[in-house]
Structure 1
């Protein structure tokens, strides 16, 4: 699963990294949550950032609100399921990020938030698909899902799934309309554990209303009540 992520970069850094133009003002984000409006890059418009909502209602469901249960989709079935196979073919996207969060269970009732990222705060992206649908007010919404795979060794402490992480070379294939299904499915692999880092962060990340830089800083491991623990 991927339930929360960060994008603590400036508009200029994102435009340079992805070679795409962002027409709207962008504020750095440290605690992005489902249903929020965030920048992505689509197959249809690879030279510009679009702003879509995180959380998808399948294309066959009309007039439904953005649903939390549709924030992720599995790599193993994304090209097969009726709810996603058309998007896999025609509506692929990448979601810029510089880290994501997971909650490590260290007791029956204790979970410690950890941040997963790449060395040197490298910007990367998640693999995704997007949809267009009509909401209950008759407005057209654009939404996306993050594609997940089986967790690598580092992520297994927090979940059995992890987001598909891309670097530049994979992004080019994913956003190429001429890429074949075999090429695309081959990209959907767990990111190598040895190329990632993970560390505990403040339990304040549990609060969606908190969006500040300190959330991505390493802290002493604490439980959900803010108490320090011996577990790392």
Structure 2
């Protein structure tokens, strides 16, 4: 499961990279986590950046089982769930990012966090789906779920899943409301493994209240309690 990522581009750089309007509310994120309001670009409004909740709004997040199910959507699920296939054709969005985190299990109770990024360290996009619903007070809530697939040769050294990362041509197809099913489904595959680099980072990313630049600095491998480990 992918449950953390980074988007550290400046407002100006983000606007230039995706040719979109970026509102004042945008800010860099070093530890983007579920239930938080995060920037997305939707196929319904591809000209600008919107803020949607990742997976679920905070007041709904107490239901852990529900929350875990809607943070990520597995590519394998589209063939088994018609509702997801319909969403794939109607409510697509991009999640701007420049890295994602994954944990490597090195023992029953020990996991080490790693930060993955493009080899050129450029901003990229993650394929996602969004939805809108009404909460118990009648407010309209928008959420998104990141699409994941089995890890490629690089990511598989650390974790079993990775996000679907799109290149610039893929982004155009993904946001185009007229794109056919064959073109969309063809995008749901790993990028070239040679495009990714990774390194261990601070176990502090486990704390969703921390969102500081030091979290993405290379750090000697340590478990979630901060204990240094020989495993790498």
Query: 2:104 matched to which residue of 1?
Result: 104
CA distance in 1 between counterparts of 2:80 and 2:20 reads 30
Q: Secondary structure at the match of 1:68?
A: helix
Say whether the 8 Å CA contact 2:73–2:145 is kept in structure 1. Answer: yes
CA distance in 2 between counterparts of 1:83 and 1:157 reads 33
CA distance in 1 between counterparts of 2:56 and 2:173 reads 23
Deviation of 1:56 after TM superposition, in Å, equals: 5.0
Query: 1:226 matched to which residue of 2?
Result: 226
Query: 2:114 matched to which residue of 1?
Result: 114
Map 1:47-126; keep pairs closer than 5 Å. 47-56=47-56, 65=60, 67-69=66-68, 70-78=70-78, 81-126=81-126
CA distance in 1 between counterparts of 2:55 and 2:5 reads 14
Q: How many residue pairs get matched? A: 226
Matched, 1:160 2:155: no
Q: Secondary structure at the match of 1:116?
A: strand
For residues 20-76 of structure 1, the C-alpha deviation after alignment (integer angstroms, 9 at most, x for no partner) is 00123322110010011011000011111111111159xxxxxx9354221111112
Query: 2:12 matched to which residue of 1?
Result: 12
- Structure 2's unaligned 5+ residue stretches are none
CA distance in 2 between counterparts of 1:112 and 1:91 reads 34
Q: TM-score, normalised by structure 2?
A: 0.92
Query: 1:184 matched to which residue of 2?
Result: 184
CA distance in 2 between counterparts of 1:209 and 1:142 reads 22
Q: TM-score, normalised by structure 1?
A: 0.92
CA distance in 2 between counterparts of 1:132 and 1:125 reads 21
Q: Secondary structure at the match of 2:48?
A: strand
Deviation of 1:192 after TM superposition, in Å, equals: 1.9
Deviation of 1:110 after TM superposition, in Å, equals: 1.1
For residues 190-230 of structure 1, the C-alpha deviation after alignment (integer angstroms, 9 at most, x for no partner) is 12211100100001111111100011111111122212222
Q: Secondary structure at the match of 2:172?
A: helix
